Amino acid sequence: MIIYRAMKVNPSIFRAYDIRGRYPEELSEEVVSYIARAYLKLYPHVKTLVLAYDTRPSSPLLAQAIRDVFVVSGKNVIDLGLAPDPLFYFTLLHHKYDGGIMVSGSHNIGSFNGLSMSVKRKGDDFAYDVIAKELDSIQDLVNKEEMITQASILGKVKKRDATDEYMKHVSSRVYLERQLSVIIDSGNGAMGFLPEKIFESLGCRVKTLYGEYDGTFPNHPPDPYQEENLKDLKEAVVKEGADIGLAYDADGDRVAIIDNKGRVVSGDFAMLMLAYQAIKKHKGPVVHDVRVSKAFLDEMRKLKVPTYFSVSHHNAVIRKIEEVGAVFGGEITLHFIFPKEYYPVDDALFASLKLAEIVSFKKDFAKYVDALPHYQASPELFIEVSDDVKFGLVSKLVIHLKKEGYSIIDVDGARIQLKKGWALVRAANTSPHIKCRFEGDTKEDLEEIEREFLVLFKNFGVPITQEHYDELGL
């Protein structure tokens, strides 16, 4: 009998849908071993688990600690080693394993790392990410002293490389009308040269930037949502005369798109293009996060496609897709889900193939993008607010806005619906920030909305600074 003492951990590492913290101060080998034991305590039916990790120096150390707990507890481990989300989720879902843990800090830089945990529900063929309520239970178990009996028979570890099986599966689900010239930026993350292999297998001419694994991310932060991280990719697309550029985050669940003129294709445009593609093949609703453009909603309305708002997190979007039977879903932060074409996960490489399929049918991709309907939208503001404050502050602000008679959508914070646009304020689910975004029918409308609501938010306690005004060009 082994006694595991109660362990106090920083409660802020338990986010809404996953676990994130600094290594080793908050997320050490000891901490993740306690989390792994809590996972097994909460899901005793789990027998075989998938384990993978990204390129961060701490990731293999954390994965080893988790692996040891599984084995000592008599659980079998399918060990993918260093692998991106696409290989992790494909292995988990395609082979219907009981659950798994991906060790990755996603787009966070520095010493951050994290855990994304999945489990197969009883009676269900698919595994879904652990939700907030269960993470609370895991936190409670970590903080509780308990006695555990070591398994009489140790679990087995099976090393596995799912690359070839994955490539065959996803490439069979896409058709390219013509061969493309593609530039890839893997950002030294877990995607590596996997995208290049798949696109080359489809007859494309491919060049990869930063495909070497390096979790210090020496070339740029692994966040493709921030345009400053796409500078090298934009230049390479123009220099090579490529049809499309694609950039991934550290774990491979988000993809940014560069058109053939070297311009960033916004998440709003990507959502619209992929929704057009999906509803052309399948009838049904689409799901989107609260940051989506009014242009997207207008187009879906014209096509008589039902739309549903979701909390801004890919796991929440996936849940909503299941709930309403959607044919497509995503976030403007570059997460895309294709439930009728693939498994219900945000596989950025599969999304890349679907985007390439669109491009292959266009003579001039940039011209197609320019013709898409749009309004004037701001970048998303990231306003630093501690995790223990941000949700309470936004909740109070939502109550205030309702009392003042504003028309709001409160699925995730408050999306304030206005005659000539909208304003959004919400607490981030994965970082210590409050996030704001604005959209107006015209440039003048946008500026008016930005100025009005920045003042309102600041007066209510959101720490808006001159830097945020400068970021919006005000």
H/E element, 295: helix 294-302
Residue reference for tokens 């945000």: 346
52 forms beta bridges with: 81, 102
For strands 157-159 and 127-129, give the pairing: unpaired
The answer to whether the beta carbons of residues 261 and 238 sit under 8 Å apart is yes
**Residue 65 in tokens:** 């600690």
Asked if residues 287 and 225 have their Cβ atoms less than 8 Å apart, the reply is: no
Name the active-site residue from 106, 293, 352, 360: 106
Q: What are phi and psi of 182, to 5 degrees?
A: -125, 135
- Phi–psi pair at 245, nearest 5 degrees: -120, 145
Residues 293, 387: Cα–Cα separation, whole Å = 27
310 in catalytic set:
no
Question: Residue 172's CB: how many other CB atoms inside 10 A?
Answer: 8
Q: Which of 354, 202, 348, 343 is nearest to 278 (CA)?
A: 354
Q: What are phi and psi of 46, to 5 degrees?
A: -70, 130
Compute the distance between CA of residue 181 and CA of residue 200 in angstroms, rounded to an integer.
10
Q: Which two tokens stand for residue 376?
A: 């004037």
Rounded to 5°, angle at Cα 394 from 226 and 391: 80
**Given the structure tokens 């489809």, which residue do they identify?**
202
Residue 38, helix vs strand vs coil:
helix
User: Which positions are catalytic?
Assistant: 106
